[in-house]
């Protein structure tokens, strides 16, 4: 489900070792990829699969995600 993805949202890495925070710069509903940059400084523009962008940091079964990016609460 990708209806949670919107421009300028911040996502954080779900990798337990840590990782970057990213900001959505371009996305149209139905696209398979979203354009992102680093959340601070807007560096490293790149495309990321929308299937890697999650609304929460937990799975349906309640386990913590270990891959992808989770939407930060605002």
16-68 per-position pLDDT tens digit: 998 899 999 999 999 999 999 999 888 999 999 999 999 999 999 999 999 99
**Would you say residue 5 lies in a domain?**
no
What is the phi-psi region of residue 19: left when phi exceeds 0, alpha when psi lies from -120 to 50, beta otherwise? left
Residues spanned by the domain of 32: 10-71
**Would you say residue 3 lies in a domain?**
no
Which is it for the CA torsion 66, 70, 47, 41, positive or negative?
negative
> Which three-class secondary structure state does DSSP give residue 73?
coil
Neighbours of 1 (CB within 10 A): 8
Q: What are phi and psi of 51, to 5 degrees?
A: -70, -15
**Would you say residue 25 lies in a domain?**
yes
Percent of the chain, pLDDT > 70?
96
């Amino acid at each position: 489900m990708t209806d949670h993805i919107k421009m300028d949202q911040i996502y954080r890495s779900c990798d337990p070792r840590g990782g970057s925070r990213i900001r959505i710069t371009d996305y149209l509903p139905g696209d398979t990829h979203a354009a992102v940059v680093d959340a601070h400084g807007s560096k490293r523009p790149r495309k990321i699969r929308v299937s890697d962008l999650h609304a929460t940091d937990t799975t349906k079964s309640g386990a913590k995600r270990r891959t992808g990016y989770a939407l930060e609460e605002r």
